[in-house]
Structure 1
Amino acid sequence: MQRSGRLGVGVIGAGRVGPVLAAALAGAGHALTGISAVSEQSRERASSILPAVPILEVPEVLERSELVILAVPTAELTGLVEGLAAVGAWQPGQIVVHTAAEFGTAVLAPAARAGAIPIAIHPAMAFTGTSVDLARLPEAWFAVTAPAAVQPIGQALVVEMGGEPVLIAEEDRPTYAEAIATVSTFSSAIVDQAVGLLRSIDVEAPGRVLGGIARSSLDYALARAQPDSIDLAVLRETGFDEGREDR
């Protein structure tokens, strides 16, 4: 398949992630060829974020596309890739990207055997499935896993979507996924617990009350992970020290 700098991009899955990434690539000049959407909710989401993009069956999306984004639930990814390989849907030279945190490119092996180019790209952010996410992509890092010769393609796609790429080795994807899940689950659980405590004493709008301390505490915790980028003395003057969030 011949490719220029601009690709025909198709998306399999219209959950919260796929349409947003497709919209970001369209903003970088790529042409959107189609998106698959099964449920009524996913069809509405696709139509909302990508109003001019046709909703197609999966084989037709693959047939039209030079770059295919597989944005499906993790549990469905292996079966989808294998099933499409069984019917000869993958095309030589086609770039195939999945967005699951847990997997590298091994899960794309059936497509690679057909001549497709496998890349795993996971955006490390929580998606709402709305256009609001587009404005947040520049703040996000994307884990890129790919064969060495293909890594520049994955990194370039991330940059075009507005994000920052970080290379993750194939064998390190489970650890990466665990880190992502830990932050997501733990942060949500802690906030829910704190909100519950305030509600138990009849505090109105507990989310607003906790918002400032939650964001500043998280920012400080993340800053400690890259100490060269912060001045701890300044943080202490603002009420933080290395062991406590206030005095």
Structure 2
Amino acid sequence: MNAHHPHLPDGTGGPDPSGPARAEDRPARLSVGVVGAGRVGPALAAALRLAGHRPVAASGVSDASRRRAAELLPGVPLVDPAEVLARSELVLLTVPDDALPDLVSGLARTGAVRPGQLLVHTSGRFGVSVLEPALRAGALPLALHPVMTFTGTSVDVQRLAGCAFGVTAPEELRLAAEALVIEMGGEPEWVAEQARPLYHAALAIGANHLVTLVNQSMDLLRATGVQAPDRMLGPLLGAALDNGLRSGDAALTGPVARGDAGTVAAHIAELRRSAPETVAGYLAMARATADRALAHGLLKAEPAEALLDVLAASGSEGGGPGGKGERKGPGGESEGPGSDGDVGGEADT
């Protein structure tokens, strides 16, 4: 494979800071197809259209897919996946993670994949190894994962400006991958093949679980009679996010980071009474927060002991985290058998 394949964009694909790019300065324009007109594919194809590429075909069967394609890719026909590949030099495979391996195998097995065809998937979980059947058929594999949640509307195209993309590609296609991401308005961030599952888990913890936490908090505020919990939480959560991104663990605040065991115990007792479904999550996050505050030196040994006792006792009462798991002392040493469970997830992109 060659990074300067005649149909591939090269490193000149980014915008020229000195002014609008001339047609002769642009990399080769590609015909673009989308397999899976969900929330992601049409937005990326629309962004590529703005960069001068030509969306020519898409596949989608649901009414929602058809509406998205009509809004974001007007005039682009909806055809079956094999026909999308037949018409396109660059194919975006934007299907759910679990459907991707079978889709790639099926397209390769039926001869739909052509030598020299750029095949791009947008899954966070997979690198390029999932495209191996298509690679054997001569395709050029890229994994370009936009680190953003999508609405399925035109606002997504605007949000791609400055959006990071987790990129995995063969070394000889590195320039092509970077050029495509930059043309969509994004910023390429290289992720090794073997690191993709951990990379994706990190994004799920940060984005998907954040939405759950925010909505749990809003539900609890509504239960107290607060009329506009979103308005109350907006400035607080915005400041917490900004501080966390800027300062890391130094931004930790609140009763757990301070070691206010009595306050934490009162929280848990009230949650058990009013919203028992939130207790396990509270305990898990409180324990994780305590561990980080200890490691960063914010939480001192004496208050940490009392706090960890409250969390361990509460976990044991409810059968949640801390009941039978490993307990660490103020210095991080293990104080009992067992291990804490893992929490996983999947980024909604």
Give your verdict on TM over 0.5.
yes
* CA deviation map 1:92-147 (0-9, x unaligned): 10000000000000000011001100000100111111111111111310000001
Q: What SS does the corresponding residue of 1:62 show, helix, strand or coil? A: helix
One-letter amino acid of the structure 2 residue matched with residue 207 of structure 1: D
One-letter amino acid of the structure 2 residue matched with residue 11 of structure 1: V
2:73 and 2:157 map into 1 onto residues whose CA distance is: 12
2:253 matches 1:244:
yes
What is the aligned counterpart of 1:205 among 221, 228, 232? 228
Partner of 1:236: none
* CA deviation map 1:51-70 (0-9, x unaligned): 12111111111011000000
Higher strand share: 1
Partner of 2:167: 144
1:220 and 1:106 map into 2 onto residues whose CA distance is: 37
Return the offset for 1:206. 1.1
2:167 matches 1:172:
no
2:80 and 2:103 map into 1 onto residues whose CA distance is: 13
Return the offset for 1:2. 5.1
The number of aligned residues is 232
Partner of 1:89: 112
Return the offset for 1:151. 1.4
Return the offset for 1:242. 3.7
Partner of 1:237: none
Return the offset for 1:185. 2.4
CA contact (8 A) 2:6 2:28 kept: no
Partner of 1:109: 132
2:82 matches 1:59:
yes
2:246 and 2:158 map into 1 onto residues whose CA distance is: 22
Partner of 1:217: 240
1:242 and 1:32 map into 2 onto residues whose CA distance is: 45
TM-score normalised over the length of structure 2: 0.64
What is the aligned counterpart of 1:40 among 58, 63, 67? 63
CA contact (8 A) 2:240 2:251 kept: no
CA contact (8 A) 2:165 2:186 kept: yes
Matches within 5 A, 1:174-193: 174-193=197-216
TM-score normalised over the length of structure 1: 0.90
* CA deviation map 1:36-76 (0-9, x unaligned): 01111111111111112111111111011000000001111
One-letter amino acid of the structure 2 residue matched with residue 70 of structure 1: L
One-letter amino acid of the structure 1 residue matched with residue 253 of structure 2: R
Q: 1:243 to 1:40 in 2, by over 3 A?
A: closer
One-letter amino acid of the structure 2 residue matched with residue 68 of structure 1: V
2:230 and 2:103 map into 1 onto residues whose CA distance is: 40
Q: What SS does the corresponding residue of 1:138 show, helix, strand or coil? A: coil
RMSD, aligned CA: 1.7
1:205 and 1:53 map into 2 onto residues whose CA distance is: 42
Partner of 1:230: none
Question: Which stretch of the first structure deviates more once superposed, 129-138 or 22-31?
Answer: 129-138
Q: What SS does the corresponding residue of 1:79 show, helix, strand or coil? A: helix
1:13 and 1:93 map into 2 onto residues whose CA distance is: 21
Indicate the structure (1 or 2) with the bigger Cα radius of gyration. 2
2:72 matches 1:49:
yes
1:36 and 1:15 map into 2 onto residues whose CA distance is: 10
Partner of 2:54: 31
Q: Which runs of 5+ in 1 are unaligned?
A: 228-240
Partner of 2:180: 157
2:90 and 2:236 map into 1 onto residues whose CA distance is: 42
One-letter amino acid of the structure 2 residue matched with residue 138 of structure 1: A
